[in-house]
Each structure stands twice: as structure tokens, then as C-alpha cells.
Chain A
């Protein structure tokens, strides 16, 4: 494996552009839904877009991205797009992210979000749990970028992910926001590791509503669960390959704490 220098990383960040299609309101909450275990974030983001009729307001353009476009109604779209209304900005990816692109992509999005004076950043994702099919009630855990945000999550009744590893876009998001002093939270719903999990996405959305007041009806998400699982198979397969490369199973590890 080769490692990039700081200067090379800086160049990578500069190679990512966010093209705005509409005026972006300031002072909103920025939400991330990226491919990860159970595709929790992507399924939740997709449901938010359809339930709130969110409009595409910006998209990511970069030569670093694989040469992929997503066709919708015959027209090309970037696989990484930003939707929103006057309450939220939602960044979502329709393709699995290559491990080596996670840092520059997340940094570029967070820097852009800061330029829009977002008041908080929230990443929706999952935490894999063994014997998931035997769980009737799924828990949602939270991790935060600061003690104040941790308290906010606790005050809202969220269980805190106290110790452990986090791997993937939400890990980079949390660390970068902590460095910049941006209030940020990651919501992690218990889910399947390798299978799309609409139930977990519904749980993450319930907690998003609890935290931000952005409410959506999740009943359709649950009713269409099987259809979503079938549609999400190929994306899950590609995501599995990337999760293996980024050693996602490290989240099961028990860390050695150095205090």
C-alpha cells in the first residue's frame, strides 16, 4: 500500500469541485448518506429525498471519481449529489466509494458545508450486529465530535457508542469535524453487515427526527422493505468489496485503550 503525503492530499482536495445548481440556504443541518454496512445511510437518504421532495441543489465533480454517471430519465448525474430544502442539506452517493477517495471526498464536502454555515453535521449509518435477524427492536447509537454534541445526543435519549472502532466515511466525518470544531454526530443503527437493511434505515430516520425535528413517515420504507432489498443488491455487493478493502470488520475489534 502506498501513502500520500500531506501536499498530495491537499492537491487531491483541490481537485474536487462542488458545482451548485441552486442557491444554497445558510444555517441548515447537513446530513450524509453514504454506502456502508446495510446501506443504512443510502436507503435513509433516498427515503428522505422522496418523502420531502428534496431538490438536487449541487453535485460533486472530480477527476478523482471513477468514470461513472448515473442516468435518471435519460439524463446524466454525478454519483455524488447534494439535495436540500430550507431546513437540510443532504449529501448522498449512489456508488460505493473507493477507500482511497473517502478522505478527499469527505473533506471537500465538509469544507463546502462549512462555507454554507451549517449548524450541525449528521451522518446516518449502521453498526453491524451478529444474529441481526433475531433482533425485533433495533438500537441506534451515537458518536459525537465534541462533549457538547455528546450531551445533546444523550439528552435526546440516544445511547452512546462509548468505546470501539469506526471505519468509513462517517469516521472521517467525525474526526474532521472534531478538528475543525464543527458540531457533528454519527447515528449508527444496528443492522446487517452484508445485506441492505431498510428497517435499520427507518430507525436511523426516527432518531434523525428526534435530533433535528426533520420528520418523515417511515411506514412506506418498512412496507417496501423487500423491494428495496432486491433493488439494493448490486450496490450492496459493490459496497461489500470496498468495505473489505477498508477493513470494516475492525469495528468488531476490542480496542486496547491508551489513556
Chain B
């Protein structure tokens, strides 16, 4: 941008630009912090895709677990606001299976930890597994209600 253009810009444009840059920087930092491989050769595990939905009554966590052996699926509460999910795969998966030859490693389980964004009753957790998708339903804990006058 030329110097003459820069002189014509108002303070509001400059503030807008500053906020935009700040937003872009924050987004960049967030993405960088979240960037990591979806696999771990040391623990022979893969991190599954997952999703969380919060409704008025419950929190629904779904996890995509292709090749998971149903009777090995474990969901454990970690404190009050997180759950740990693990499952064994029916077969070992190696990088070779994906045509990748520059890494070495085999995977035989899924593992991940997910934070639950609102208070829930961990002891009333309901779990089902259908079409390779694990669904975990956690009733929400409403600690108090504000009466409507």
C-alpha cells in the first residue's frame, strides 16, 4: 500500500485492521496448538474422529471407530469434565496399508480423551455402538434453576 493511501485511512480502518490481524493471529495459534498427528507409534494407537453436541438435557458424544471390536470398547470418566475412550481394532493397521513407506508403525487400538463442556452425571452415562459409531449420552447436571417470575 502506498504512503498516500495510508495517510487517508481513518482511525476506524486502522482499528478494524488491527482487530482482523489479531483474530487471524489467534486463529493461527489455536490451529498450531491443535496440530498433531492423528496417530501415535509409541502407544500403537490412532486418535478417532469425534463430535460433541450439547442439548438442553444431555451431552451426546459420538466417536467414529472403524474396525473396532465392540467388546473391547471402554469409556472411562476422567475427573468431572472429561472422558477417556479406547477400543481395540479387529486387525492391525500399518502404514503400509495406506501405501506409506516413509514411516514405520502398526496400530491396534483407538484412544482419545474428550472434555465435556458442561456439568454432567458421569454415573448415568449411556453407551451404544452402531455402524461403527460409538454414541455416549451424558445427562446434564443442572445445579440450580432460576425461577421465572
**Chain A residue at minimum C-beta to C-beta distance from B133:** A133
- The 4 A-B residue pairs with the shortest CB-CB distance, nearest first, are A226-B66, A229-B66, A195-B64, A133-B131
Choose among B31, B130, B131 the residue that contacts A241 (Cβ–Cβ < 8 A).
B31
Given A192-B133, A226-B66, A230-B46, output 9 extra A-B contacts at Cβ < 8 Å.
A2-B20, A133-B130, A194-B49, A196-B64, A229-B64, A229-B132, A233-B49, A233-B64, A234-B38
Determine the chain B residues whose CB is within 8 A of the CB of A133 once the complex forms.
Answer: 62, 130-131, 133, 135
The reply to whether the CB of B121 lies closer than 8 angstroms to some CB of chain A is no
Question: How far is the CB of A94 from the nearest CB of chain B, in Å?
Answer: 13
- 17 residue pairs from A and B, CB less than 8 Å apart: A1-B20, A2-B20, A132-B133, A133-B62, A192-B64, A193-B51, A194-B49, A194-B51, A194-B64, A195-B64, A196-B64, A226-B66, A226-B132, A229-B66, A229-B132, A240-B49, A241-B31
The reply to whether the CB of A134 lies closer than 8 angstroms to some CB of chain B is yes
Given A195-B64, A230-B67, A236 and B49 contact (CB-CB distance below 8 Å): yes
Determine the chain B residues whose CB is within 8 A of the CB of A194 once the complex forms.
Answer: 49, 51, 64
Complex alpha-carbon distance, A2 and B16, angstroms? 10
Instruction: Please tell me the number of chain B residues within 8 Å of chain A, measured between CB atoms.
Output: 19
Choose among A1, A134, A237, A240 the residue that contacts B38 (Cβ–Cβ < 8 A).
A237
Tell me the residues in window 8-29 of chain B with beta carbons closer than 8 Å to chain A beta carbons: 20
Question: How far is the CB of A153 from the nearest CB of chain B, in Å?
Answer: 28
Complex alpha-carbon distance, A192 and B132, angstroms? 12
**Chain B residue at minimum C-beta to C-beta distance from A136:** B131
Choose among A195, A227, A241 the residue that contacts B49 (Cβ–Cβ < 8 A).
A195
The reply to whether the CB of A220 lies closer than 8 angstroms to some CB of chain B is no
Classify the secondary structure of A's interface with B.
helix
Determine the chain B residues whose CB is within 8 A of the CB of A240 once the complex forms.
Answer: 49
Complex alpha-carbon distance, A225 and B66, angstroms? 8
Structural contact, B98 and A134, CB atoms closer than 8 A: no
Question: How far is the CB of A224 from the nearest CB of chain B, in Å?
Answer: 10
Determine the chain B residues whose CB is within 8 A of the CB of A225 once the complex forms.
Answer: 66
Determine the chain A residues whose CB is within 8 A of the CB of B133 once the complex forms.
Answer: 132-133, 192, 195
**Chain A residue at minimum C-beta to C-beta distance from B37:** A234
Complex alpha-carbon distance, A19 and B42, angstroms? 43
Question: How far is the CB of A142 from the nearest CB of chain B, in Å?
Answer: 25
Tell me the residues in window 224-259 of chain A with beta carbons closer than 8 Å to chain B beta carbons: 225-227, 229-231, 233-234, 236-237, 240-241
**Chain A residue at minimum C-beta to C-beta distance from B90:** A226
**Chain B residue at minimum C-beta to C-beta distance from A240:** B49
Complex alpha-carbon distance, A225 and B48, angstroms? 16
Tell me the residues in window 180-227 of chain A with beta carbons closer than 8 Å to chain B beta carbons: 192-196, 225-227
Determine the chain B residues whose CB is within 8 A of the CB of A234 once the complex forms.
Answer: 38
Question: How far is the CB of A141 from the nearest CB of chain B, in Å?
Answer: 21
The reply to whether the CB of B85 lies closer than 8 angstroms to some CB of chain A is no
